[in-house]
Amino acid sequence: MMVESASETIRTTTSNQNGVSNLSSQLDGGGGREGGSNGDNNGEISPVDLLHLQQQQVCVCVCVCVCTSCSVVCACQQIGNKQLAFQQQLIQMQQLQQQHMINLQRQGLVSLQPTNPMQSLQQAMCPGDLQQLWKEVSGVQSAEEALKQQHTGEGLDLSTNSTSTSFPKANTHSSLHSLHNGQDNHTPKRDSHEEHAGSHPLYGHGECKWPGCEALCDDMGQFIKHLNNEHALDDRSTAQCRVQMQVVQQLEIQLAKESERLQAMMTHLHMRPSEPKPFNQPLNLASSGSLLKRESEVYPEGLPHPPTSATAPITPLRQGPSVISSSSLHSHSHPHGVGPIRRRIADKFCTPIASELAQNCEFYKNADVRPPFTYASLIRHAILEAPDRQLTLNEIYNWFTRMFAYFRRNTATWKNAVRHNLSLHKCFVRVENVKGAVWTVDEVEYQKRRPPKMTGSPTLVKNMISGLGFGSLNASYQAALAESSLTLLNSQGLVNPSSAASLNMLHGMGHDDVSSTVEQVNSNGSCSPTLSPQQYGHQVHVKEEPTEIEEDSRSMSLMATVTQNMALPSDRDDRDLDDELPTEELE
DNA sequence: GCTTTTATAAACACGG
DNA sequence: TCCGTGTTTATAAAAG
């Protein structure tokens, strides 16, 4: 069996301000470095050294051959004081590497084994490094290019933390694209070329994505031809395939490490369900700061204690803004120890509750963490999640307890709050059907209560804020909806925005507010509160707005306006509304 | 400092 | 009477 070999070039370069000139002072002698081992380790540079060099903003080139038959290791462990000396060293190293590569190519490249040399590199190699390996294997990159790249600041950021790993932009763009550039490659956005070219994982952006190959192909046919000619089943392709397997394996290892880290973090943050909690004190995302002062307080057993009494801040897994804000960290505790939770953070930042919950569903189910949403948001979400978008009070209770560990205790407190919110907010409409009293959501009222800070058409936003306030949806609002959100949704493939499926999809997309608004635009273009009780044929309104016309008609919900319209048919505005609403809604 | 929003607590009414 | 449900009021705090 032929010797399986490859040459690995790891470049840690920096686009630093210090440049190589700083190198000498930082590395000269090297005796002061912790863990420094490049002085007596037989020419090897350990990952620790690499990391250290990188952290020290040092430009260093390490060329390590991973072949099983030779032990060529080219490392700049003896970096001189002078920049020139360092550059010379680099050149020598590159020449050595190039020569070695030539030898390898003469031997005939064969597949790589996941041998120990390779595995030993895994600590220092990120997947991008493995991709870089392709360049060396395929001989695409010359040493001059590498040297040039090094001094132009492009190269691998050798960090032990994969999250901070950056990949070379220039010469590995193509090869990395298919695997590592998930942001580019996994997003639905694809250039027109790719869209028209069909879907071949090895073809995109008009070029071959075979690792190490950047051959330009005008169309799919040309690509197929190129694929068959250049990447046929031979030793070289096999070797590349095996390296690709290594890449995947490396990614899996990294994933396992990150998962383990995550688990440790969650464990550290008291998320061990199996671990007995002495007092089962919840963690409050919003007002955790006040808890720091009272974390030593103990509430007597059997006595209700404030649900806001958390012991430590904890955040769910998310990337959005639902994090503990500085203000929340410094919130004051309630003088009676009952610190009411102020505005939920996610509400404050207009975080879509659906996406937040979808993202951290298990988190909230298991962690005694107060969800960063207002009661109103939660209630609304619970109702909208229901198949028919209506829930009894008890079902709302059950949803709270099912979805949030936080609400599995202090039931009297939060249930009272739920009832209070249901009664207080006009967006919650109590209706009676055959099942009894159920609660629904008047989306118009909800949006009016909290104007959505959505990104989109300014016209839409404007109309959402101002146009909603006349008891009916004016034309501009409808037009804005149709122009912006509905178009957006249609572009997302949501043909029927009024369907529950669309709702769920929208929630999943994280357009909580947008979705709920757009839902109101039905297929015939008219706007109706989808969730208003008129939908429910057998339902009778129990919760009514005051019979007298409010001074501010904007406070009237659409549903309530309909109700009033029935009672006060002579009202002009209500007549206008009557014209706009489907007749069946008045029945 | 004012207003709005929200959370919390509590009182009360009503019906089963 | 008790309990669940629903409404209302009061208070405090945060945020704009």
Residue range A496-516, pLDDT digits in tens: 333 333 333 333 333 333 333
CA distance A7 to A15: 25
Q: CB of A350 under 7 A from strand C?
A: no
Contact yes or no for A59/A12 (Cβ under 8 A): yes
d(CA A438, CA A383): 10
Reported confidence tier of residue A454, pLDDT bands at 50, 70, 90: very low
Higher pLDDT, A35 or A342: A342
Q: Which of A23-27, A195-199, A267-271, A392-396 has the lowest mean pLDDT?
A: A23-27
Residue appearing with tokens 């997003």: A187
Q: Left if phi > 0, otherwise alpha if psi is -120 to 50, otherwise beta: which for A436?
A: left
**CA-angle at A403, arms to A399 and A408, nearest 5°:** 85
Q: Which residues contact A214 (CB under 8 A, 6 or more apart)?
A: A140, A173, A174, A175, A207, A208
Q: How many CB atoms lie within 10 A of CB A116?
A: 10
Q: Which of A41, A106, A31, A36 is nearest to A73 (CA)?
A: A41
Provide the 8-state DSSP code for A113.
P
What residues approach strand B to within 7 A at the CB? A 304, 306-308, 338, 340-344, 347, 373-376, 413-414, 416-417, 419-421, 449-450
Does A357 score more than 70 pLDDT?
yes
Q: How confident is the model at residue A450, as a pLDDT?
A: 53
Kind and range of the H or E run holding A284 = strand A283-284
* DSSP strand pairing (A428-433 vs A73-75): unpaired
Nucleic strand C near CB of residue A323 (< 7 Å): no
- Side chain identity at A150, as an amino acid letter? Q
Q: For residue A482, what are its two tokens? A: 């149709």
* Distance in Å, residue A289 CA to nucleotide C11 C1': 22
Q: Detail the DSSP E strand segments found in A384-513.
A: 428-433, 436-441
Q: What is the torsional sign of CA A557, A562, A566, A571?
A: positive
> Which contacts qualify for A544-549: CB closer than 8 Å, 24 or more apart?
A545/A426
Place of tokens 């190293």: A93
Q: How far is the CA of A316 from the C1' of C9 (A)?
A: 36
**Which bases of strand B sit closer than 7 A to a protein CB?**
5-11
CA A461/CA A119 separation, integer angstroms = 55
Both tokens assigned to A146:
């590498």
The answer to whether A394 CB sits below 7 Å from nucleic acid chain C is: yes
Residue of least CA–C1' distance to B5? A343
Residue A170 DSSP code = S
**DSSP code at position A273:** T
Helical (H) or strand (E) element with A514: helix A512-518
Contacts for A267 with CB less than 8 Å, ≥ 6 apart? none
- Return the pLDDT at A399: 93
Minimum CA–C1' distance nucleotide for A328: C14
Q: What are the tens digits of pLDDT across the range A400-422? A: 999 898 998 888 889 999 999 99
Q: With contact defined as beta carbons under 8 Å apart, do A385 and A343 qualify?
A: no
Instruction: Report CA-CA distances (Å) from A338 to A290, A310, A370, A417.
Output: 11, 11, 14, 14
Tokens of A563: 């109700």
A308 touches strand C (CB under 7 A): no
Strand, coil or helix: A68: coil
Amino acid letter at A250? Q
Strand A369-370 vs strand A283-284: parallel, antiparallel, or unpaired? parallel
CA of A436, C1' of B16: distance in angstroms: 13
Tokens 């990150």 correspond to A258
Residues in chain A: 587
Range with the largest mean pLDDT of A70-74, A379-383, A491-495, A533-537: A379-383
Cα–Cα distances in angstroms (integers) from residue A227 to residues A172, A179, A223, A452, in the given order:
19, 18, 6, 51
Which carries the bigger pLDDT value, residue A183 or residue A216? Answer: A216
| A20 and A83 Cβ atoms separated by less than 8 Å | yes
Mapped onto helix, strand or coil, the DSSP state of residue A283 is strand
Mean pLDDT value across residues A290-294: 35
Q: Which residues contact A571 (CB under 8 A, 6 or more apart)?
A: A549, A564, A565
Backbone region of residue A525 per phi and psi (left: phi > 0; alpha: psi in -120 to 50; beta: other values): left
| Amino acid at the residue A18 | N
pLDDT at res. A98: 55
pLDDT tier at A464 (50, 70, 90 boundaries)?
A: very low
pLDDT at position A240 is 76
User: Chain-wide mean pLDDT for chain A?
Assistant: 50
A221 CA vs C14 C1’ separation (Å)? 63
